[in-house]
Chains A and B, each alone.
Chain A
Amino acid sequence: MLAQQIVNAISLGSVYALFALGFTLVFGILGVINLSHGGIFMLGAYAALLLISKFFLPFWIAIPVAMIFSGLVGLLIDVLILRRLRQRQASHLMPMIATIGAAILMTSLAQGLFGSEARRFPLEMFNDENLKLGNITIPLLQAGITTLSILLMLLMVWVLKRTRLGQALRAIAESPRAAALLGIPVERLFYLTSFIAAALGGTAGILIGLSFNAISPFMGQPMLHKGIAAIILGGLGDVRGAVLGGLFLGVAEVFAITFLSSEYRDALSFGLLFLMLLWRPQGLFGASATRSA
């Protein structure tokens, strides 16, 4: 029983972590809170759903295509909105409000196009195979979801730590102006960051859609809340912190449902976040509390 819950918690937590990773990447590198990340998450799920149920694409094609689609949505938001605000050196309030607007727009479009009720993947395509480890059963689907999100996170961490691209991104996170002086194409890497972050967010949407088998226009908002909680728990802009924050949140939620009641699940993330901000506003890994972003 306990072991089964731990498996569930890790599975849920790894998807949260994937979502939070994209979210924190944008904050760390572009210095803005992109509140449309939840909307992108939702559109990613719908994109995969359409590709599979309308165009009858196999899974292994539909998921990458939906990822790229989500990435393009993120890129579009950057080019149309965030870029202009960067040029104007607008205060941090402005991108937050504009991306809230983008999120409302996406939700409303999805609602108008696909209706308000939850949609499902044609899951007959999975036979209910299970992996058995001792007396823990892991549905194959759940195992796949967890593996994919962990692989993507490892890939991102590798890119950031070990490649020249990652080095350039870290330089921008430190100071965009200094990075530009070093000849790093800052603006282009901003676009790339928005693309990657949105692709990760969209992937998280696909995976959550698969694991709960319910996709609705409103799924983005609660996820955004969890993402905010996760990255603040871990420390804004910190990749390692976002991953641990997401995992922690997944674990906390699963155990809150098991041992408390499901009503408190949604309060949990924000309750934790609220306490964390009072106790240690810089998060677990954040360096400075006074950085006013």
Chain B
Amino acid sequence: MDWSSWWSTYSTLVLSIGVYGLMAISIYITLSCGLLSLANAAFMGIGSYVSAVATMQFELPFSLALLLGTLTPSVVALIIGVPVLRLSGVYLAMATLGFGEVVRVVALNLDITGGPLGLNGIPLLTEWWHVLLALILVLILLNALRHSKIGRAFEAIREDETAARLMGIATHHIKLLAFVLGAAIAGLAGGLNAHYTFTLSPGNFGFENAVDILTMAVLGGIQGLIGPLLGGAIITLLPELLRSLEEFRMAANGVILIAVVLFLPQGIWDPRRFRRWLKKRATHVDA
């Protein structure tokens, strides 16, 4: 099979791996700050709709549409983050799930989003290098943050919020930053996604999607940036790999979720486990 026919068959899949890698990273940010937020699917939806409407109805250039698709969910996150982030644990999970459902129903009932039919005929503007560039930029940004006071504050808050606050960390500002950053990346991923899938409908951003994104991060592991990327790729490829299971294909997803929680609670990519392995091997060699 030559390159162009391979690409025409698999381009959507490849782009999806990148886009869902971004989504997994967006939820990783909030998780790394100890926030169990399930709003990222909704932020992705907002980003998708805003950028698709921007290119379709207002005929804005793609770059500007992506920018709007990134900024709008960030602003929404900023507004709802102030009250919502007072909650923690399961309360936060439920509230963000509730927010997601509200967004879905709003999209279902607005004219500009095409109601239940959604949007069709979105121009195919996303090139492979757009996704790659977005991934690289996001990774550079987050890697820099991880090794700064911001990243340490995220980790401190995740481990012990009270202790972090007593170190002088303005915990609610930092949590809001994580929430908004997650929303921005989800929005960007949504904008990219909308411009290669051709169609958008409110159902794409519901509970199932929120769960899928969470699965990616948990499966990959949230000890670093590689885990979520890996998880995103696996969950995106899985339906293709399990095609032969037909109706029972989703069952595999369920089994994987359970198995990861039970047997790999740190996810697949767990640098600490790798280090332990290395140590073990080293001592074997010594002996």
Contact = CB atoms under 8 A, between A and B. Distances in A.
Interface of A: 27, 33, 81, 84-85, 88, 90, 92-98, 100-109, 111-112, 221, 225, 228-229, 232, 236, 263-264, 266-267, 269-271, 273-274, 277-278, 281, 289-290, 292-293
Given A267-B102, A270-B101, 7 more contacts: A33-B93, A96-B90, A97-B261, A104-B253, A104-B257, A109-B248, A267-B101
A106 to B, nearest CB: 8
B81 to A, nearest CB: 11
B61 interface: no
Contacts of A105: 251, 254-255, 258
A contacts with B: majority SS? helix
Interface residues of B, number: 43
A79 to B, nearest CB: 12
A206 B40 CA distance: 34
24 contacts: A27-B90, A84-B262, A93-B218, A94-B265, A97-B214, A97-B215, A101-B257, A102-B254, A103-B254, A105-B258, A106-B254, A108-B251, A109-B251, A111-B247, A112-B251, A221-B207, A228-B94, A228-B98, A232-B91, A266-B101, A266-B105, A267-B106, A281-B87, A292-B91
Given A102-B254, A104-B251, A111-B247, A277 B87 contact: yes
Q: Which 8 A-B pairs have the closest CB atoms?
A: A101-B257, A105-B254, A267-B105, A104-B254, A270-B101, A108-B251, A108-B250, A274-B98
Interface string B82-115: 0110111111011101110110011011000000
A225 B207 contact: yes
Given A97-B215, A104-B253, A111-B247, A270 B98 contact: yes
Interface string B239-252: 00000001111110
A92 B90 contact: yes
B29 to A, nearest CB: 15
Interface in B61-83: 83
Contacts of B211: 100, 104
A102 B258 contact: yes
Given A96-B93, A97-B214, A293-B91, A111 B254 contact: no
Contacts of B207: 221, 225
A55 to B, nearest CB: 24
A278 B98 CA distance: 11
B265 A281 contact: no
Contacts of A269: 101
Interface of B: 36, 83-84, 86-91, 93-95, 97-99, 101-102, 105-106, 108-109, 207-208, 211, 214-215, 218, 246-251, 253-258, 260-262, 265
B222 to A, nearest CB: 10
Contact of B248 (A108, A266, A271, A278): A108
Contact of A271 (B89, B102, B265): B102
A236 B101 contact: no
Interface centre among B94, B208, B256 (most CB of A within 10 A): B94
Nearest to A32: B90
B87 to A, nearest CB: 5
B97 A85 contact: no
Contacts of B102: 267, 270-271, 274
A93 B34 CA distance: 10
A263 B107 CA distance: 11
A90 B265 contact: yes
A102 B246 CA distance: 19
Nearest to A290: B88
A232 B248 CA distance: 33
Contacts of B108: 263
Given A90-B265, A108-B248, A112-B251, A236 B95 contact: no
Contact of B218 (A97, A111, A228, A271): A97
Nearest to A39: B254
Residue of B93, B95, B98, B246 with most chain A CB atoms under a 10 A cut-off = B98
A105 to B, nearest CB: 3
B89 A85 contact: no
A111 B258 contact: no
Contacts of A267: 101-102, 105-106
Given A236-B90, A274-B99, A101 B258 contact: yes
A273 B94 contact: yes
Contacts of A274: 95, 98-99, 101-102
B247 A112 contact: yes
A264 B105 contact: yes
B88 A292 contact: yes
Nearest to A105: B254
Contact of B247 (A33, A93, A108): A108
Contacts of A271: 98, 101-102, 105
B178 to A, nearest CB: 16
B250 A111 contact: yes
A262 to B, nearest CB: 11
A289 B254 CA distance: 32
A260 to B, nearest CB: 11
A264 B256 CA distance: 35
Nearest to A111: B247
